[in-house]
Structure 1
Amino acid sequence: MSYRVGFASIDGAVVDEHFGSARYWQIYDIDAKETFVETRKTAAKCAGHCEGGFDHILAVLDDCDALFVSRIGESAAAVMIAKGKRVFEAQGAVEDIIAELIENDYWSMSHGSDI
């Protein structure tokens, strides 16, 4: 089974964007290997802390099973988790994170969100 994962990344190589201000998302399908799907753009509306209004981001990431961001606020994390998304704070190369997910057979394990 394949999982769709979004990485908040300005340059497509490193997870380096806060959830609420992320403008670019690198979308991958991951199973025993990764397949790059596309880069998606969102209209970043949060300048730091948001209490709500994540519908514009959720609409762009609706088909994603998991999201990797450099930071995410509690209210944003709660909204995403309530919508069935796994949310993780991470920093580093997208390819390294993907390799770790595949190597550790992450998707066959029962994990909640890291937030």
Structure 2
Amino acid sequence: MTTYHDLTGFQRDLLEAIAAVEDDPYGLALKDYLDERYAEPINHSRLYQNLDQLVDQNLINRDELDARTNVYTLTDAGRHKLQCHAETLAGLCDHLRLTRGAQQ
């Protein structure tokens, strides 16, 4: 079973991007989302190789949008991974807030 920490940072960012892109999360829309957050432009082959790996790990689905374009959606397992990570981050933020409040 793949855990969130078994994924590369880029793969974790892809899960986030798929959840965040409001219209159809197709490859170039995901690339645009990530390009806004990364210092260097995302290489197409890196993008699609990692999308393929996430499909193979059953964390995302790939469906045909049209003859040339695939759309990517989170599976239940992918949503669960992202939700668990969000809860971990929220807990850390609460901890930091309480720790800083106690220090003041």
- Shorter-chain TM-score range: under 0.3
Give the TM-score normalised by structure 2: 0.26
Give the TM-score normalised by structure 1: 0.25
Q: More helix per residue: 1 or 2?
A: 2
Q: More strand per residue: 1 or 2?
A: 1
